Structure 1
Amino acid sequence: MKNHKTTKIYFLIFFTIIFQVINAQKTNWQTDLETYSTQLEAKHIDLYNKISKQDFQKSVERIQNIAKSEDDLKTIIELMKLTKKIGDGHTAVSLRNLNVHQFPFDVQLIENQWRVVKTISSEENILKTSLIKVDGVPISEVVSKVSEVVQFVENEHSKIVRTASNLTISELLYHLNIIKNKKTALFTFLDDYNNEIEVEFTALKNTELKQLDYATFEVGVPEITKPKNTKFDFLWFAPIKNKNAIYVNFKSYPSFDEMQVFGENLVKYITENNTKNIVIDLRKNGGGDLYVGVVLAYALNLADTIDWKNGVYVLTSNITFSAGTSNAALFKQLLNAKIVGQPTGSNPTGYQDMDQFQLPNSKLVITYSKRRFRLSEKITQGIQPDILLYPKWGNYTLGKDDVLSFVIENFTFF
């Protein structure tokens, strides 16, 4: 009898310790949420422009109660929902400090289907297919749930981009009750012949994903070849073959000094070759320092051989965001550029100039807007192109860049 009582006491002590350890591992969300609300209120240029202060504070209190009984990721998802209600694409909960896992394939919304555009080489057969189910849940329902929480969304165009990039995050899918297991899920794809293909994927860390071989599409045009010895992979120029034109690939931003040198080299090439047309590709420019982009505009203004009436073209897409959008708007104004492609993922007039702070316990990074830029008197959902063009799936799978091809083929007709 004595041994039985002793055993019960040991079990009680054991479970008490386990309970304390589990609680100790949980984030102190009360401090984090206080930091979240006070810092945003102090630092954001206009925190309550879309959500009232009362609703914001009530939501923070509700999340504090949720945090007492739910795990950390559930709390983070609720915080993401609240942050999205602030209503600008630069105020967000960043997941960069979280050790999330992703399934090894990418999708894009092309012609109203979630097309597989990249996958691990061992599952190359799903390239060109459409994602239609996740663990048996129809893709329309999956997209609806994921799109409610995705961050860095400023309009319907960036919402599509962020949804696509979050559709493969396993922790998100699990806590949104889409998949049944945190690490594995069954995905259903539809091929061109309406055959369903089921693949069970395992979610991996970012470091593991980088070690894999992938099958993807190489999309471009035969008239443009990237130079072999470019200083930057994200910023380079090349002549357009058989055309009196030059192409500038502008995905991201160097320093001021580096852009000044780049601009000088670009103008030198344009002048020496008597170049008439220039295409500046901002379709994959997700942002940076817009004033560095202005340095490029300043340099180009010295290129007198350019046809400044009809010869400047800027390409945009729903990926174009933040400084990328601002530079597209400024190039239209300063360089008399024609905008070709899709509406941008952020708006030319709105809250920008992003900064950040970190929550003390969860280490979540919270970003926020410091400025309001007014680059268009008319409020629009993204920059609206002068010529609206979307990629065609059939051409995309063949590696043809529809937008760039259209511009090159129609230089003299704009």
Structure 2
Amino acid sequence: MKMKKANWIIFGVITVFYIAAMAMPFINIFCVSMPDFLPIAVALVLLMFIIVGWKNGKAKTAVRIVNVCIGIFAIMICLAGEYLNPWWNSISEHPNSYTFLNYNEKISGKDAIADIDYAMKYVRKIHPLCYKGMPDGVEKQYQDVVDYLKGKDEVEVAEVQAELQSILSQFHDGHTSAAIWNDDSYLYLNEWYKHEIAGDQIIAINGIGVDNIYDEKLNLYSADSKEYGYARFCNDVTDLSALTMLGYNADDGITYTFLKPSGEKTDETYYTKDYVTYDQYCRYNNLDETEESDEEDPFVYYTIDTDRSLATLTLNSCNYNQEYRNCLKSMFTEIQDKNIQNVAVDLRNNGGGASAVVNEFIRYLNVDTYRGMGSKVRYGCFYVNANEGICKNKKYNDLTFKGNVYVLTSVYTYSSAMDFAMYIKDNNMGKIIGQASGNNPSSYGDISQIYLKNSGLVMSVSIKKWYRIDPQKDGELIEPDFECSPGDEFEKLYSIIDTKKQ
């Protein structure tokens, strides 16, 4: 009886261990990162349990077979969690468990190399472009960076970011990049607001034209298109951490040349003390006094212009949630009640999110089927097709819209927002107004976010290759049907609608 009781205890311990091993990948994704050696160590322990269990002559053969089967299955799940799961050690679901260093904190050159090596390990493992090996240009830049850091006793975090970016930019993938996540690192030029509202443009820094600077620093920007990289660069030139990454030292002063709307050029020099946190920036420019509340602006809202028979949906982030669905339903209900004939979707400031937002929008349109995107996903040594093919539209028949659809885009229309525009354009559901999208539909995306423990940087790495819906336009940006200058999109839209009335 004692032996039987002992056997049950052993069986219980082994069962708990099997369950824990199979739960490891899920714990890793949703709760905490783990050392890369842990799945191997656990797999070896499981293998020992299998062997011991099989050699236990007192157990029935059926029990031993079940033990072997469960053990092998647990080993497969455990190892697949690390080697086939592209989200292994991604911090996307638990970002608050980590320490993020400031841009000007310093680490040793040795620690910087360790972070670079760790980053490249994950790039090799999960990026689709590395499925058959690291591209030559990437490998060469990686070796150059390591050689450079070997000669450094210590480096600032911003410099580590710059060196890693010089490698990742070789992928020409805007979703694969390194970033500083420390909120205190975002320091804004305190007087930029007065220049912005005056319409001033920065045309040079320290006497060198911004176009020339961008051409020189192009290798520090991960982008599908040069235009999107340039847009990001223009945003960076008033942020101190980004300027430091670009090689500027505000302690010595940074001189901006501003071009005023009148054509006059002026030079102004700023120092480290002139770059402040966002709260300080708002107080400096009295922006907090104009706020009606502390609530954030809604990411989605709509307006109705009955004179033009136009409903405009402004979508600044692709969040597929109840707020978005409620907004769509409310808008299309009002469209039906007021017999509105034109719908415009403003995606000019939308950097992406969940691609499901466009599928929900299409449910209100008068189409039965439409073409979806093609893609391939990297699962370790496997590269799996995940094509959507022809999608059946689950229409809201009581709110079906049969009028004209327009989508407003800019270089900041990116990722899932770009997908939104592509679904409308490539399925001939509407027209695009504005400028070309920020990234290419045939590009990489869906990211895993890896924490680099020494520098505190976070590296985003694409795990999926996307393909454009219209194969005849593969490799092209989402080009507008009606092109216009930034800021003139609504003027162009009104002109198109007014012309149709005539």
Name the % identity.
Answer: 20
Partners of 2:137 and 2:441 in 1: how far apart? 28
2:256 is the counterpart of 1:191: no
Partners of 2:326 and 2:135 in 1: how far apart? 47
Change (3 A) 1:232 1:203: closer
The equivalent of 1:326 in structure 2 is: 419
Q: Which amino acid aligns with 1:353?
A: D
Alpha-carbon distance, 1:254 to partner: 3.0
* Cα contact 1:276–1:305 (8 A) shared by 2: no
Change (3 A) 1:213 1:67: same
Change (3 A) 1:102 1:137: farther
TM-score (norm 1): 0.75
SS state at 2:122 partner: helix
Listed as ranges, the matches of 1:350-365 within 5 Å are 350-365=443-458
SS state at 1:120 partner: helix
- Superposed CA RMSD: 3.1
The equivalent of 1:220 in structure 2 is: none
2:119 is the counterpart of 1:36: yes
Change (3 A) 1:35 1:274: same
Change (3 A) 1:313 1:203: same
* Cα contact 2:415–2:445 (8 A) shared by 1: yes
Change (3 A) 1:183 1:294: farther
Higher helix share: 2
Partners of 1:196 and 1:232 in 2: how far apart? 35
Partners of 1:317 and 1:239 in 2: how far apart? 22
* Cα contact 1:146–1:166 (8 A) shared by 2: no
Partners of 2:183 and 2:112 in 1: how far apart? 16
Listed as ranges, the matches of 1:125-164 within 5 Å are 127-151=198-222, 153-164=223-234
* Cα contact 1:189–1:197 (8 A) shared by 2: yes
Partners of 1:244 and 1:175 in 2: how far apart? 49
The equivalent of 1:225 in structure 2 is: none
Q: Which residue, out of 144, 147, 164, partners 1:65?
A: 147
Structure 1: gaps of 5 or more residues: 1-21, 106-117, 216-227, 392-400
Partners of 1:61 and 1:296 in 2: how far apart? 47
Aligned residues: 352
TM-score (norm 2): 0.63
Structure 2: gaps of 5 or more residues: 1-104, 288-292, 367-395
2:284 is the counterpart of 1:212: yes
Alpha-carbon distance, 1:82 to partner: 1.0
Q: Which residue, out of 407, 410, 414, partners 2:496?
A: 410
2:466 is the counterpart of 1:373: yes
Change (3 A) 1:48 1:210: farther
Q: Which residue, out of 90, 93, 116, partners 2:175?
A: 90
Alpha-carbon distance, 1:181 to partner: 3.3
Q: Which amino acid aligns with 1:65?
A: D
Alpha-carbon distance, 1:317 to partner: 0.6
Alpha-carbon distance, 1:263 to partner: 2.2
Alpha-carbon distance, 1:192 to partner: 4.1
Q: Which residue, out of 429, 432, 435, partners 1:339?
A: 432
Partners of 1:23 and 1:402 in 2: how far apart? 45
Partners of 1:273 and 1:24 in 2: how far apart? 62
Structure with higher Rg: it is: 2
2:471 is the counterpart of 1:386: no
